Amino acid sequence: MGALDGVKVLELAGIGPGPFCGMMLADMGADVIRIDRAGSVKEFDENSPPNDIISRGRKSIGIDLKNPQGRETVLKLVETSDIFFEGFRPGVAERLGVGPDDCLKRNPALVYGRMTGWGQEGPYANAAGHDINYISLAGVLAHIGRSESGPVPPLNLVGDFGGGGMYLAFGMVCALVEARQSGQGQVVDAAMVDGAASLMSFFYGMMETGFHQQERGVNLLDTGAHFYDVYECSDGEWISLGSIEPQFYKEMLEKLELDAEEFGFQHDREKWPELKQKMAELIATKTRTEWDQLLAGTDVCYAPVLSAYEAVEHPHNVERKTFVEVAGVTQPAPAPRFSRTPGKIERPPAHPGQHSKEVLMQFGFKEEEITELLSTGAVS
């Protein structure tokens, strides 16, 4: 039994941060039903699930929201659900008849989540965009990269998943706790630009004190420092060093046999480029495996830079079961870990509409109602 066991969630199918949020909730035991477009329902083989990992753990029902019976079906599902969330542009859910007012009228205690890039209002609210745009406007992307490079997009981890899906999940669970006390639901407006900006809170504090400069690639944590960076080895692989604290820096000097006097002024920023060059030349004399044998498990604050597939096989991750296999697909296990109510991957990703009849029965629809919905195409 997961920490969210018994929580009933409706997810209007989307891409990126929405499905990631749904995965997080399902991993923690919530009963998440994904509402797919009826038009996306095709013939499928139950024994061959999709490889869309972030769609794992939930059932799928295909519903035509433009069909009055389909829309009414969604609202009936809402009546006995705890959470409903969508990722449309502002106003789309309202036009489909499943906006906040429509849903809260049926279930006043409902938590209604909205996942967008720009938010529900503002000059950009109705514009198209992607992670790279949201983290640009949030003041994040300008600070990621090296001094000699332009900004470097960090995959779509910061906007879509960190500032998007995670904040939506956090916000909705917070609202659910409050709703169970007050009996009143509310709307959670989770905008990726807001979430990404929130993730920068620490750096706004550092910039306010003058410790972090706005210039990219010259600071403690943005590859400016010689003791906090990645270095290429003789075999073309890379290692990471993060020896910030004095005792860890001292151990780094000892392990790498660096001159304590030359490298003694750890935080002299004028010396950082020169010291970094010397460290790069040193690291390039050994393979990653050789450095691993010397530094792994020490207080240098070291780790090899692993690819996704290498990470799966690393002994630390193997022992902790950080990755698991579901339906033949290797993937990250649920996180974080709970001592009494651990997370669990309930099922592999579902094909659109794979559980339509099962879901309707679960929500109390009668056999004749189900037959009619399927025959009219309101449900597929």
Residues serving a catalytic function are 130, 160
Distances (CA, A) of 341 to 33, 302, 326, 350: 21, 32, 20, 24
> How open is the CA angle 321-322-323, to the nearest 5 degrees?
90
Contact between 95 and 123 under an 8 Å Cβ cutoff? The reply is no
Q: How far apart are CA 97 and CA 78, in angstroms?
A: 12
**C-beta atoms surrounding 166 within 10 Å:** 18
Buried b (16+ CB within 10 A) or exposed e, 220-232: bebbbbbbbbebe
Contacts of 183 (CB under 8 A, 6+ apart): 108, 109
Distances (CA, A) of 127 to 121, 167, 363: 11, 21, 37
Q: How far apart are CA 166 and CA 169, in angstroms?
A: 5
Type and span of the H or E element at 37: strand 31-37
Query: Structure tokens of 218?
Result: 């010259």
Type and span of the H or E element at 375: helix 367-376
